[in-house]
């Protein structure tokens, strides 16, 4: 039996065509698979980013409500029926003590006359002398509240660990007739309870940060006690960039966290009343995070 000389050549060509076809088909499937994985990854990331942002916005709203509730309680304490006929008298101490009872987050309250001198004060942390006098006429809370506007101060730390803020409201005999100022020191530990209760999957968590970058609340309380400043983090910078008109900012981004690991971060600014005061006012970003797989 004889085979034509061109037969081996044709067989080799067929094998080559077959291998090339397999490679092209396989390569096409791999490429399409990679493209699909790429788009699915970004779609999943976007969905997770939106979910995290909703949770962050919810936490920010709860924190705003907490501060607003304290503000409303302070305003209620200025509506004493004795204010109009008598003005600020030592009897007003009863209103301050009731205030401390109603609002556990308020650790100290003082009533200042229209000259900025303390008339009455009450504290749950220390003994207050009934005749103690102190001039606060040059303080920012008194100046703003004396003009009939509520004051929401920046975050500060007591004993190097616990975050506080000052809230001050005008005391009016009648509408527009300011006869003094009620000033309260508010412990922000409650914010830590709100933040610690947030979890997304196994690796997600949330934290609150002040405009200056100091942690106010974090699941790892040791970071708050250390007064860790996270202002250099890209997520924190992006969160506060939204407060600048005309500056674009992402709602979610992948960036290193405090431990230097890349994570997907979302954020939300706490709205009014905190942004109703001058540039020294407190602003906190609440960010949920989830480690990227």
Instruction: Write out pLDDT tens, residues 189-227.
Output: 888 887 777 776 677 788 888 888 888 888 888 888 788
Q: Quote the radius of gyration of the chain (alpha carbons, Å).
A: 30
Q: Is the pLDDT of residue 177 over 60?
A: yes
Q: Write out the two tokens for 36.
A: 């699909």
- Identify the CA nearest to 238 among candidates 269, 263, 261, 215: 269
Considering only residues 130 and 108, tell me which one the structure prediction assigns the higher pLDDT.
108
Q: How long, in residues, is the chain?
A: 293
Rounded to whole angstroms, the Cα distance separating 217 from 232 reads 17
Give me the torsion for CA of 55, 251, 157, 148, rounded to 10°: -90
- Which of 260, 251, 217 lies closest to 66, judged by CA? 217
- Rounded Cα distance between 168 and 125, Å, is 19
Residue in 123, 141, 140 with CA at minimum distance from that of residue 132: 123
For the segment 161-171, the average pLDDT, to the nearest whole number, is 89
Instruction: Choose which CATH entry (3.90.25.10, 3.30.450.20, 3.40.50.10320, 3.40.50.720) describes domain 44-67+190-291.
Output: 3.30.450.20
Nearest Cα neighbor of 266 from 28, 55, 2, 35 is 55
Cα separation, 43 vs 14, in Å, equals: 43
Residue 151 has pLDDT above 60, yes or no: yes
Compute the distance between CA of residue 234 and CA of residue 73 in angstroms, rounded to an integer: 37
**Domain 69-188: CATH class, spelled out:** alpha beta
Give the C-alpha separation, 215 to 285, whole Å: 10
How many Å apart are CA 122 and CA 213, to the nearest integer? 32
Q: Considering the chain, tell me which residue range(s) the CATH 3.30.450.20 domain(s) occupy.
A: 44-67+190-291, 69-188
Placement of tokens 């969905």 in the chain = 47
**What would the mean pLDDT of 242-262 be, rounded to a whole number?**
66
* Cα–Cα distances in angstroms (integers) from residue 123 to residues 95, 153, 165, in the given order: 12, 19, 15
pLDDT value for 275: 41
Between 282 and 81, residue with greater pLDDT: 81
* 6: confidence class by pLDDT, cuts 50, 70, 90: low
Number of Cβ atoms within 10 Å of the Cβ of 170: 23
77 close to 98: Cβ distance less than 8 angstroms: yes
| Residue keyed to tokens 């003009």 | 147
Q: What is the three-class DSSP state of 103? A: coil
CB 267 within 8 A of CB 235: yes
């Amino acid at each position: 039996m004889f085979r034509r000389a061109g037969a081996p050549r044709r067989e080799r060509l067929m094998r080559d065509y077959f291998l090339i076809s397999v490679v092209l088909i396989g390569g096409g499937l791999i490429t399409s698979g990679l493209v699909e994985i790429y788009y699915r990854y970004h779609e999943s990331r976007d969905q997770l980013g939106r979910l995290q942002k909703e949770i962050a916005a919810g936490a920010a709203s709860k924190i705003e409500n907490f501060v607003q509730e304290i503000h409303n309680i302070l305003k209620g304490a200025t509506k004493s029926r004795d204010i109009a006929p008598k003005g600020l008298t030592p009897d007003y101490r009863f209103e301050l003590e009731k205030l401390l009872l109603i609002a556990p987050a308020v650790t100290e309250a003082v009533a200042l006359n229209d000259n900025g001198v303390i008339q009455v004060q009450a504290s749950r942390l220390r003994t207050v002398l009934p005749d103690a006098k102190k001039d606060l006429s040059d303080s920012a809370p008194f100046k703003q509240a004396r003009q009939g506007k509520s004051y929401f101060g920046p975050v500060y730390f007591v004993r190097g660990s616990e975050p506080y803020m000052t809230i001050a409201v005008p005391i009016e005999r009648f509408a527009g007739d300011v006869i003094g100022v009620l000033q309260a020191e508010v412990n922000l530990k409650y914010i830590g309870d709100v933040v610690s209760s947030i979890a997304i999957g196994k690796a997600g968590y949330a934290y609150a940060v002040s405009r200056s970058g100091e942690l106010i609340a974090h699941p790892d309380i040791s970071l708050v006690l250390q007064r860790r400043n996270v202002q250099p983090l890209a997520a924190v910078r992006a969160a506060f960039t939204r407060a600048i008109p005309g500056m674009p900012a992402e709602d979610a981004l992948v960036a290193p966290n405090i431990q230097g690991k890349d994570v997907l971060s979302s954020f939300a600014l706490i709205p009014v009343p905190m942004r109703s005061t001058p540039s020294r006012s407190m602003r906190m970003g609440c960010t949920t995070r989830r480690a990227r797989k």
